[in-house]
Copies of this chain bind each other. A is one copy, B any other.
Amino acid sequence: MDKTKTTRNTAAKTAVLEILTQSKIALSHTEIQKQTNDLCDRVTIYRILDRLVNDDIIHKIVNLDGTVKYAKCHHHAQRVHIHNHAHFSCEKCLEITCLENVKPSYIIPHNYKVNEINFTLSGLCPNCLNSNN
């Protein structure tokens, strides 16, 4: 909420961001925690993720099943970063990926003011679609 505070670079923050940068898929808090190898407390990771989301460096994805994941955005064309792209959630391997080029078009009654959209598709990803078992 408060965008006035300056945020600092710490070892834990750098580690979390590095993990997200390296990952091709979105990661949950727990998955990130496992990869940090007890570098810092569980709570600290929650707070780091909050900060990174607030600073528009990563974005938060809520899946159809309620799972919350985080992903770093690989495009930074605009100054102001709007996360209006789609996410794909594979029902088999459970991985969530950003479909940065897929953007929905829609018509909504004029008496609604839209600030944010969330568009998640679920089904089978290319990998699981090929390995048919």
**Of B88, B109, B120, the contact of A112 (CB 8 Å cutoff):** B88
For chain A, the bracket of interface size reads: 35 or more
Is A93 part of the binding interface, using a Cβ–Cβ cutoff of 8 Å?
Answer: no
Assembly stoichiometry (copies): 2
A71 to chain B, nearest CB (A): 15
Of the candidate stretches A34-42, A44-52, A58-66, the one touching chain B is: A58-66
Is A125 part of the binding interface, using a Cβ–Cβ cutoff of 8 Å?
Answer: yes
Which A residues form the contact surface with B (CB < 8 A)? 62-66, 68, 86, 88, 91, 99, 102-109, 111-126, 129
| Chain B residues whose C-beta falls within 8 Å of the C-beta of A124 in the assembled complex | 112-113, 115
- The answer for the CA separation of A109 and B99 in the assembled complex, in Å, is 9
Please indicate which of the listed interface residues A68, A88, A119, A121 has the most CB atoms of chain B within 10 Å of its own CB.
A121
